[in-house]
Amino acid sequence: MKSFRLASPAAIEIHPLRLEDLPVPEPGPGQVRIRISACGVCHTDLHTVEGDIHPSHLPVTPGHQVVGVIDQIPVSPDVGAPKSGDFGFRVGQRVGVPWLHSADGTCEFCQRGQENLCPNAKFTGFDVDGGYAEYMLADARYVLTLPEKITDEQAAPLLCAGIVGYRSLKLADIQPGERVGLFGFGAAAHLSIQVLTHWGCRVHAFTRSQAHQDHARELGAVWAGDAAEGTAGALDRVVIFAPAGELVPVALEKIRPGGTVAVNAIHTSDIPSFPYAILWGERTLRSVANATYQDGVEFLMLAAEIGIRSTVKPYALAEANQALEDMKHSRFNGEAVLMMDS
Ligand SMILES: [Zn+2]
Ligand SMILES: [Zn+2]
């Protein structure tokens, strides 16, 4: 099978991912094998490829917004070992694989329903091979079923940009009708805004890119402009999607007392020091780390119910390096999706 491998991280402009021909992997107990049809391209993949964050081993195949069809479920010879069929999956079923590949299920975080914080969690396309390939293996406990009416291409961005974006909205304490700022208007923000408008929120989009500002207005933002603009204290909540620490004090200045700033970024540049006065007044600053299985289930139901539309820029699998480079330089709106048949 064709599979993109990252052996040595480097700037995306030199196209560090190599296309290789690998044997189709064999699923073990508790796993399913998926024939991949589409895989979304996430900023986390770029951080991995460029060496900002470090996978547990190299080489690795990136990609953690994977849509495909289950093509093999093993019959486990081990007495007592979980069989993928035990999770209700069948061969031929269309599924999605998100960023959280697996967790231990036993630690204090897993017990609290916060498996996104599990110290033994494994992540798709990072600790285990992901979806920039024709086939992959997934842990059946964390595979998501997809609503029928959402196409493969449309579903891929929902699996990380959508789900982690949705968790960010929850952790930002957003109430219906509030004034919400989104900093950065890429893949996650363009999906989150559709949830926010459904909740009756008034969305302000902060981004340097004119094309992204226009995209935000098309999707219902009441205002779009540069982060330097906007009125101090005019917002209830902010979610920062851009990996830029200098935006944290800028965002804190824009929220009212009692407001919240949530940072949706697995990696960000350092946050500069800032006066206590802009945190004072019971303002909350927090990060958002990964997402739980339940976040995935809830968000996919909501996406189908309110008809969330992903703005997609399709690429062939062979164009993975180019897709990552174009994302880095904001050359398209929404999300790049690798389509395996094209
Ligand atoms: Zn755990
Ligand atoms: Zn992601």
Cβ atoms of 14 and 3 within 8 Å: the answer is no
Distance 7 CA to ligand 1 centre (A): 29
Q: Per-residue pLDDT tens for 119-140?
A: 999 999 999 999 999 999 999 9
Task: Give the mean pLDDT per block of 10 residues along the chain (342 residues).
Answer: 98 98 95 97 96 96 98 69 64 97 96 97 98 97 95 98 97 98 96 98 96 97 94 94 96 98 95 98 97 97 97 97 96 95 73
Residue written as token pair 């926010």: 196
Give the environment of ion ligand 1: residues with CB less than 5 A. 103-104, 107, 110, 118
Residue 123 has a pLDDT of 97
**Structure tokens belonging to residue 327:** 């994302």
CA of 245 to the centre of ligand 2 (A): 19
Distance 257 CA to ligand 2 centre (A): 31
State in Å: Cα 64 to ligand 2 middle: 6
Report the separation in Å between the CA atom of 91 and the middle of ligand 2, taken as the mean of its atom positions: 26
295 close to 314: Cβ distance less than 8 angstroms: no
Q: What is the pLDDT of residue 85?
A: 53
- 336 closest CA partner among 137, 68, 41: 41
Burial class (CB in 10 A: 0-12, 13-18, 19+), 23: exposed
Alpha-carbon gap, residue 273 to 282, rounded angstroms: 18
Give the ligand whose atoms come closest to the C-alpha of residue 45. 2
Q: Which of 44, 55, 9, 12 is nearest to 187 (CA)?
A: 44
The CA 101 to ligand 1 mean position distance, Å, reads 12
Reduced to 3 states (helix: H, G, I; strand: E, B; else coil), residue 327 is: helix
Task: For residue 212, report the distance from its CA to the centre of ligand 2, in Å.
Answer: 19
Return all residues near 112 (Cβ < 8 A) that are at least 6 apart: none
Percent of the chain with pLDDT over 90: 92
Q: What is the pTM of this model?
A: 0.93
Distance 159 CA to ligand 2 centre (A): 8
- Ligand sitting nearest the alpha carbon of 161: 2
pLDDT of residue 79: 45
Ligand with minimal distance to 48 CA: 2
Give the Å distance between the CA of 115 and the centre of ligand 1. Answer: 5
Q: How far, in Å, is the centroid of ligand 1 from the Cα of 248?
A: 30
The number of the ligand nearest the C-alpha atom of 99 reads: 2
Distance from residue 86's CA to the centre of ligand 1 (Å): 21
In this structure, which ligand is nearest to the CA of 118? 1
Q: How does 190-227 read in b/e, with b if 16+ C-beta sit within 10 Å?
A: bbbbbbbbeeebbbbbbbebeebbebbeebebebbeeb
CA of 266 to the centre of ligand 2 (A): 9
Which helix (H) or strand (E) element contains residue 197?
helix 187-198
Q: What is the 260 CA–ligand 2 centroid distance (Å)?
A: 23
Q: Which ligand is nearest to the CA of 63?
A: 2
Q: Which ligand is nearest to the CA of 156?
A: 2
